[in-house]
Amino acid sequence: MKHIFPDYYKAFHCIADRCRHSCCIGWEIGVDEETLAFYDGLLQSDAPLSAKLKNKLASSLCRGEEGATFSLCEGDRCPFLQQDGLCELICHLGEGALCQICSDHPRFYHFFCDRKETGIGLCCEEAARLILLQKTPMTLLEEEGSEEEESFDEQERQEDEAIIALRDQMFSLIEETEDWQTCENGLLSLVSAQNTPFAPEEYARFLKDLERLDPAWDDLLARPVFEKGKETIQQPVRRLLTYFLFRHLPDARYDGKLTERVCFAVFSAKFLLALSKEDDTEDFCNLARAFSAEIEYSDENLSAVLSYFTAD
């Protein structure tokens, strides 16, 4: 099976203690069965692990019918997040001691008939810099993967090919179009979506009513909005549009919400541009990162946003 990934993917490395928005704070941390078995083995063995760390591991595992999680500490911190910003488990046991969700984050995956696509999520500040601040268009690289190709019927294969071809067409349109309005109209027309008036203020009010991860998001949503991007599209906006389409279009194979997902990409990029400070790419990155954490990483919020565009 082919492995497809953006050109910036292999440049990503967790910046750990230098991160201002730690993924070890505020997120529920699920422990997969394989890692849980590894932890139980450590607790039951004579592994060279301090009694203090063993006790913390034993007391931090919360087991339930739906699986195990780490019980978070004050401030919703992972119990193994040290004050220096490093992971206690990595420091004592190495990266192999991480549960799957921690090891994968912020990576995401899509599986097609003959290819696996891997990307990194915008909610991570280091990923956001890689995704948005490169001055060249994103390109997809290919290498031979370790997974075996599964058997699919012809209809599934055709659906995969159609999504990939449409997305490639959108990528080209984004890079070849100079002004925002032409780009916006072109992307929406490819899915036969009507370009209805979009009010950033209304979108902000809608987003404010959704599930909240970080209270600071309210302050960002309260910013005044400005009409920008009608002339030349800046590279960070192009790359944001490309990221949204790369990440979200494949799931239309399962829920049929192709038009909604394109509207989500177009109008969310337009919204973040309207909120951002003039010619401040760092501010644009921070806005995009916060938006991703609040919307992309909440199934409930993402579903609500897709429904918002269904209504339009």
What pLDDT, on the 0 to 100 scale, is given for residue 44?
Answer: 86
Burial class (CB in 10 A: 0-12, 13-18, 19+), 142: exposed
- List, for residues 171-197, the tens digit of each pLDDT value: 999 999 988 889 999 999 999 987 778
The reported pTM is 0.91
Cβ 289 vs Cβ 125: under 8 Å: yes
Q: Read off the tokens for 304.
A: 């609500």
User: What is the pLDDT tens value at each position of the chain, 312 positions in all?
Assistant: 899 999 999 999 998 889 889 899 988 899 999 999 999 998 888 766 788 888 999 999 999 888 899 999 998 999 999 999 999 999 998 999 999 999 999 999 999 988 999 999 999 999 999 999 998 999 999 998 777 777 778 888 899 999 999 999 999 999 999 888 899 999 999 999 877 788 899 999 999 999 998 899 999 999 988 766 556 688 999 999 999 999 999 999 999 999 999 999 999 999 999 999 888 899 999 999 999 999 999 999 999 999 999 854
Q: Read off the tokens for 297.
A: 């990483």
- Beta strands 115-120; 2-6: pairing state: parallel
Cα separation, 177 vs 194, in Å, equals 19
- List, for residues 24-79, the tens digit of each pLDDT value: 998 889 999 999 999 999 888 876 678 888 899 999 999 988 889 999 999 899 99
Residues 6+ away with beta carbon under 8 Å from 235: 134, 135
What pLDDT, on the 0 to 100 scale, is given for residue 45?
Answer: 80
